[in-house]
Chains A and B, each alone.
Chain A
Amino acid sequence: MKKITEALKAEARKLLESNAVDLVIAYEQGSDLVHLTPLFANTPEKVDRISYNPFAVNNLGKYLLDYAPGEAKIGVVVKGCDSRALNRLIQDNCIPRERIVVIAVPCSGQLDPEKVLAKVDPRAELIEVIEQGDNYVLKTSAGDVTLNKKEFSREKCLTCETPVPVLSDITVGEVKGEGKANDYAAVKQLEALSPAEKNTFWEKYFSRCIRCNACRNVCSACNCRECVFDMMEPYWVSKKTSLSDNTVFHLTRAMHVAGRCVDCGECDRVCPMDIPLRKLNQKVLKDVKELFGSPTPGSSAEAEIALGRYNPDDPEEFM
């Protein structure tokens, strides 16, 4: 992985020094061994801080929205899952393609920080991560730790559709591994439940929600300038964390991102209350696929967008 880090630094430096971009959004080492943190490199000095390893969990595509107003050109490091968000943002005219330089990193799966924490000294220094077949070897100042990818990966990585980014201007690292079509096994299990059982399942989670908005704010599909949940007039949804208001929050969000949710799984990752939000969004993803015959949103720049275009010949019978 050292090679990828060095290549990212070289590419970022080239882009900044040639004024091809004003800013490169990448990763740097976080505050402990199991975290990388977003880095905003706008000078060649900051480029030296760039780091990349299987803890690069954040979908950096979301930050493009912060730089959409104006003319700045932005370089952004993306993995396969994140790259779908870029396509989708471009399709929605959130930011023009010409203003983005996509630095694509083919991904062999991300490690789950929570799972890895149990195996390492989090305060040790991470010297290097080496990929060895089915394992990642973490070389740390407190010794080497070998982690089996299947066991320590983030759950979403086990059913990754696009390990190789779907769009790219610069590709860093080797292309290996192929995507798998998602079989939506977890969704099918939930679909098999009775309405009462489904209700019990989701009520348990929704009642736990503290409405911190992390799922919304991390979501690249949540790009409304004014969000219904921020509005005081009309006051659509109460700030009370009652089960009723929380349910409105989550179901509204799930329906509202239908056709735009790229299944990056960030909502699921950031929820402090461990609400299985990806299960909810995958139900919508699965329905959109079945009803509109469209691929996972963002999978290609050309694919027809479900629920995102007006068509006078809409086949819907009642229209």
Chain B
Amino acid sequence: MNKIIKKDQLAAVLDSIAAKYQLIAPVQDESTVLFKPGVAGKDVVLDAVNSTVSPKGAFFPQWETMYIYNTAEADFAIKYPEEGPDRVLFGIRPCDMMALLHIDPVFIGSKFGDYYYETKRNKTTIIGVSCAKVAHTCFCSTFGGSPTGNKGADIMFYDLGDKYAVEVITDKGKAVADLFSKFLVDDTGAPAEVEAKAKELASLLKPVDVTGVKEIMDGAFENPYWKELSRKCLNCGVCTFICPTCHCFDVVDEAYMCDGQRVRCWDTCMAKDFNLAAGGHNTRPTKLEKVRNRFMHKLKYHLDRYNLAGCVGCGRCSQKCPVNLDITQVISDVKAVK
């Protein structure tokens, strides 16, 4: 961490990476900030607190073709997509890196590993960038995160105003860091500056206490609170689509004549057909079941299954919910209703 990069060198650093890897990084598109592949160093924007949509799409895209087929050919002539290039995901914030660690066990390491997610994960080196500022909706510390956290990073850039302190964490990271080593400058004061910045930012986070919430949620399934809360929900999918940990998907076949493709798309527990089964039965038919499921998943089910929180406190849903149905409010409400 006692090496730094001057901010005015950042575009050159990123271009040196992009010469060998596909660079995925945040770019500005009017009022939105989105992670895009194949960007040039000069277009990368790190001014926003965070991207409009989380960068989970780099591993779990909103839609992807799983394979193509032709029903007229022997064995349907199934063709799988190519693996794609080695990639560097740059500019991901600590909360979103933590989110990847929290959804990894859904796709990797279980009896049914997910080829698509795992391949992209293995082929990607992650360069995290610590937060320069926090929004009033940020509450990552609630789930053990920090605006300067490096969990999940192969290389970590710590924002220190006009420079980044650089920490190379893994071997994978070292291979990428070698590409820009000529831009690194010694700065023995950097670690102390990072520590001061960490303290300053942590003090600005929204204080949200989840102590005991899991235990309350364990017994809260039938609580009338969910019905009252769900009245205002519109059942749109904003919260789930911009969320860094939501990972539900749907698989559909799209065919024209004999040619078809199997497509995986993001799904949302807010959707009408999310729990629709053959025969027409829907196990979560109304706002009540849908809203309860979202918060049970965030604050209980994910913990039950993986002992990991289903929320990382990025605050996106609090900001963008059309009706201000705010998870931090739910957390404090739940403690009161038990």
Q: Which residues of A contact B (CB under 8 A)?
A: 30-32, 35-40, 58, 62-63, 66, 117, 122-123, 208, 210-214, 216-218, 227, 230, 232, 235, 238-242, 266, 269-270, 272-274
Asked if B263 and A239 make an inter-chain contact with CB atoms under 8 angstroms apart, the answer reads yes
Q: Which residues of the other chain, A, contact B34 by a CB distance below 8 angstroms?
A: 208
Asked if B273 and A274 make an inter-chain contact with CB atoms under 8 angstroms apart, the answer reads no
> Of B29, B238, B324, B329, which contacts A208 at CB under 8 A?
B29
Closest 10 CB pairs of A and B: A270-B322, A31-B326, A214-B236, A37-B324, A30-B324, A212-B237, A217-B236, A122-B136, A239-B265, A217-B234
Asked if B250 and A239 make an inter-chain contact with CB atoms under 8 angstroms apart, the answer reads yes
A55 to chain B, nearest CB (A): 9
Q: List 5 A-B contacts (CB under 8 A).
A: A38-B323, A218-B234, A232-B273, A239-B252, A274-B30
Asked if A31 and B322 make an inter-chain contact with CB atoms under 8 angstroms apart, the answer reads no
Contact flags B23-52 to A (C-beta < 8 A → 1, else 0): 000000111101000000000000000001
Asked if B328 and A31 make an inter-chain contact with CB atoms under 8 angstroms apart, the answer reads yes
The residue in chain A whose Cβ has the minimal distance to the Cβ of B57 is A210
> Of B231, B250, B263, B324, which contacts A40 at CB under 8 A?
B231
CB of B158 closer than 8 Å to a CB of A: no
Asked if B252 and A213 make an inter-chain contact with CB atoms under 8 angstroms apart, the answer reads no
Instruction: Report Cα–Cα, A244/B81, bound state, in Å.
Output: 21
Instruction: Report Cα–Cα, A117/B52, bound state, in Å.
Output: 17
Instruction: Report Cα–Cα, A273/B32, bound state, in Å.
Output: 6
Q: Which residues of B contact A (CB under 8 A)?
A: 29-32, 34, 52-53, 62-63, 136-137, 206, 228, 231-232, 234-238, 240-242, 250, 252, 254, 263, 265, 268, 271-273, 287, 318, 320, 322-326, 328-329
Instruction: Report Cα–Cα, A122/B268, bound state, in Å.
Output: 30
Taking A214-B234, A214-B322 as contacts, is the C-beta distance between A240 and B263 under 8 angstroms?
Answer: yes
Instruction: Report Cα–Cα, A239/B263, bound state, in Å.
Output: 9
Q: Which residues of the other chain, B, contact A211 by a CB distance below 8 angstroms?
A: 237, 241
Asked if B236 and A218 make an inter-chain contact with CB atoms under 8 angstroms apart, the answer reads yes
Instruction: Report Cα–Cα, A270/B240, bound state, in Å.
Output: 14
A88 to chain B, nearest CB (A): 18
Q: Besides A31-B318, A62-B234, 19 other CB < 8 A contacts?
A: A30-B324, A31-B328, A36-B324, A37-B232, A63-B231, A123-B136, A208-B32, A211-B241, A212-B237, A212-B242, A213-B237, A214-B234, A216-B236, A217-B236, A230-B273, A232-B252, A272-B52, A273-B32, A274-B32
The residue in chain B whose Cβ has the minimal distance to the Cβ of A114 is B31
Q: Which residues of the other chain, B, contact A210 by a CB distance below 8 angstroms?
A: 53, 62, 241-242
Asked if A213 and B236 make an inter-chain contact with CB atoms under 8 angstroms apart, the answer reads yes
Instruction: Report Cα–Cα, A146/B190, bound state, in Å.
Output: 41
Taking A31-B328, A208-B29 as contacts, is the C-beta distance between A241 and B271 under 8 angstroms?
Answer: no
Taking A123-B136, A240-B63, A272-B242 as contacts, is the C-beta distance between A38 and B232 under 8 angstroms?
Answer: yes
From A31, A210, A213, A216, residue with most partner B Cβ within 10 Å: A31
B306 to chain A, nearest CB (A): 26
> Of A66, A212, A274, which contacts B231 at CB under 8 A?
A66
The residue in chain A whose Cβ has the minimal distance to the Cβ of B242 is A272
A221 to chain B, nearest CB (A): 14
Q: Which residues of the other chain, B, contact A269 by a CB distance below 8 angstroms?
A: 322
Q: Which residues of the other chain, B, contact A235 by a CB distance below 8 angstroms?
A: 252, 254
> Of A35, A213, A238, which contacts B324 at CB under 8 A?
A35
B43 to chain A, nearest CB (A): 16
Q: Which residues of the other chain, A, contact B62 by a CB distance below 8 angstroms?
A: 210, 241
Instruction: Report Cα–Cα, A30/B254, bound state, in Å.
Output: 43
Q: Which residues of the other chain, A, contact B235 by a CB distance below 8 angstroms?
A: 217
The residue in chain A whose Cβ has the minimal distance to the Cβ of B287 is A66
Instruction: Report Cα–Cα, A227/B271, bound state, in Å.
Output: 12
Instruction: Report Cα–Cα, A274/B263, bound state, in Å.
Output: 27
Instruction: Report Cα–Cα, A216/B234, bound state, in Å.
Output: 10
A123 to chain B, nearest CB (A): 6
Q: Which residues of the other chain, A, contact B268 by a CB distance below 8 angstroms?
A: 212
B21 to chain A, nearest CB (A): 25
The residue in chain A whose Cβ has the minimal distance to the Cβ of B318 is A31
Instruction: Report Cα–Cα, A38/B326, bound state, in Å.
Output: 12
The residue in chain B whose Cβ has the minimal distance to the Cβ of A227 is B272
Instruction: Report Cα–Cα, A230/B282, bound state, in Å.
Output: 14
Q: Which residues of the other chain, A, contact B329 by a CB distance below 8 angstroms?
A: 31
Q: Which residues of the other chain, A, contact B252 by a CB distance below 8 angstroms?
A: 232, 235, 238-239
A168 to chain B, nearest CB (A): 23
